[in-house]
Chain A
Amino acid sequence: MAVEHPVTAPSGDQTRIHNIGYRSYDGPRLGRAYATRSLYSQSLRGAYGLGRSVKSKVLPMLLFVVMCVPAAIMVAVAVATKADELPVDYTRYAIIMQAVISLYVASQAPQSVSRDLRFKTVPLYFSRPIETADYVRAKFAALASALFVLTAAPLLVLYIGALLAKLDFADQTKGFAQGLVSVALLSLLFAGLGLVIASVTPRRGFGIAAVIAVLTISYGAVSTLQAIADAQNSTGSIPWIGLFSPVTLIDGVQSAFLGSTSAFPGGIGPSNGEGVVYVLVVLGLIAASYGLLMRRYRRVGL
């Protein structure tokens, strides 16, 4: 192929680097806020398996259905029997279904952050305009929103059903609002804890087990200790023991301020003073998990 090209003598201004038409981008640059919003919406969709494979839709959708079906059954029963109130308070519902909520957090928190760590995509995110705080906020907000959807949907079913059954409007609206506040707190708390634990390990399986262990074992331990304290008649210590597990924390907050009956043994919820401590601990935990996540992502895998 060594063909000698005849070297034509360059003549005048005809020599130039060939222009093949590259252009610089001069459209709008959407910037940091847009990138954060995209990360948020992608993570939120991912938490329900939308935009992912069919297999990864199964579990979140199944848990969502499992959350809503009992509410639908309760409503159906209430309508059919013409009851004058729902069989379960709005605030109680999430406490009863805590196993499902825990499983959801355990399966979706590692899905949200562990894979980024394992496939080393986090540095790619940070090569975009977003910063640590944006990444953490987007992931935190996405998981909390996903949890809120999961926990608020059955309440909505209950509320609509209650209105259809012609229960007292003001009473039901108040209960519904209280329930929403409680599940919002629960979503933030669970999302924070789940993400902090999941962000430590790049192994998805280990993250799932760790999250579920923290949520269920702490609940098991706390409720066992409370039952023993109740049997020993040291009722004063019951509320203080309840501070050590996420579920009992939410239970304590709502029985102190949101007018629900406590699931603590003997039905002894925290008093208002103790309730303040509960609220402070919940808010403190949420803030602490945000802080820990910020710390975790200050330097990632470079």
Chain B
Amino acid sequence: MYDPTVARLTYRALLGRRRALILSALPLLLIAISVVVRGLAGADDQTASDLLGGLALATMVPIIGVIAGTGAIGPEIDDGSVVYLLSKPLKRPTIIFTKLIVAVAVTMVFSALPTLIAGFILNGNGQQIAVAYTVAALVSSIAYAAVFLLLGTVSRHAVVFGLVYALVWEALFGSLVPGARTLSVQQWSLAVAHKVAGGDLVTSDVGLTTATVLLVVVTVLATWYAGQKLRALTLAGEE
């Protein structure tokens, strides 16, 4: 199910040249802000929770997820070089699964790790906040990568749709319409984080069972369907 060559090529496509530097700009910004906040406000659990929840989990993880998830397959389909990959004797689901592993790994390294570091800088993991948000970031990395990888195989405008989901659905509708929160990767991962932290600082609108089931279902379904899409991929010309 896992092909090292495809993995290596995907890593190169995602992190090659200067892309790793650009991708690491976001985590560095998060850590810089945490240092500034720690300097301004001192160690405060509420502040740490707000910053990690608002900036790290709500904005950074989805954006890195979009870049890694769609970037793992989108550009290849876009410029047509995916035919060289598809013509190799590899199962299409294997290709998708490998690319998913790489996208998840990249998202985790560039979003969960800085979240952990930022959490420790902000309040030294008081009330398990840093660990809780890191777990949330890890969990949501998997789901985001799977969903956005699927988007990459479905649409040529995957990045835009991914961002519309992350910013408009989760952030805008999620804050206005309570029902939208049930269908939000962010809330599912917060439910898991709530279990880890235990306190009232990390809360979610979704129960743990629902969240776990939905996370697993969405991840598996998205990966399976992406494999199906890739089996019958039609290469469209440039619009």
The total number of A-B Cβ pairs within 8 Å is 91
Task: Give bound CA distance, A206 to B59, whole Å.
Answer: 17
The verdict on A193 contacting chain B, using a C-beta distance below 8 Å, is: no
Q: Is the CB of A228 within 8 A of B29?
A: no
Instruction: Report A-chain residues with C-beta under 8 Å of the C-beta of B172.
Output: 99
CB interface residues, B 160-201, toward A, < 8 Å: 160, 163-164, 167-168, 171-172
Quote the shortest CB–CB distance from A202 to chain B (angstroms).
10
Contacting residue for A209 out of B36, B157, B159, B239, CB 8 A? B159
Known: A228-B37, A229-B40. A217 touches B63 (CB 8 A): yes
Q: Is the CB of B167 within 8 A of A99?
A: yes
Main secondary structure of the interface of B (DSSP, over half): helix
Known: A203-B75, A225-B33. A103 touches B67 (CB 8 A): no
Task: Give bound CA distance, A225 to B51, whole Å.
Answer: 9
Q: Is the CB of A208 within 8 A of B55?
A: no
Q: Is the CB of A216 within 8 A of B67?
A: no
Main secondary structure of the interface of A (DSSP, over half): helix
Nearest CB in chain B to that of A212: its residue: B163
Q: Is the CB of B163 within 8 A of A204?
A: no
Interface size class of B (residues with CB under 8 A): 35 or more
The verdict on A224 contacting chain B, using a C-beta distance below 8 Å, is: yes
23 A-B interface contacts by CB (under 8 A): A56-B239, A59-B157, A59-B160, A99-B172, A102-B167, A106-B163, A205-B75, A205-B78, A205-B158, A206-B71, A208-B159, A208-B160, A209-B66, A217-B59, A220-B58, A221-B29, A221-B33, A224-B33, A224-B54, A225-B37, A228-B40, A231-B47, A232-B41
Chain B residues in contact with chain A, CB under 8 A? 19, 22, 26, 29, 33, 36-37, 40-41, 47, 50-51, 54-55, 58-60, 63, 66-67, 70-71, 74-75, 78, 156-160, 163-164, 167-168, 171-172, 238-239
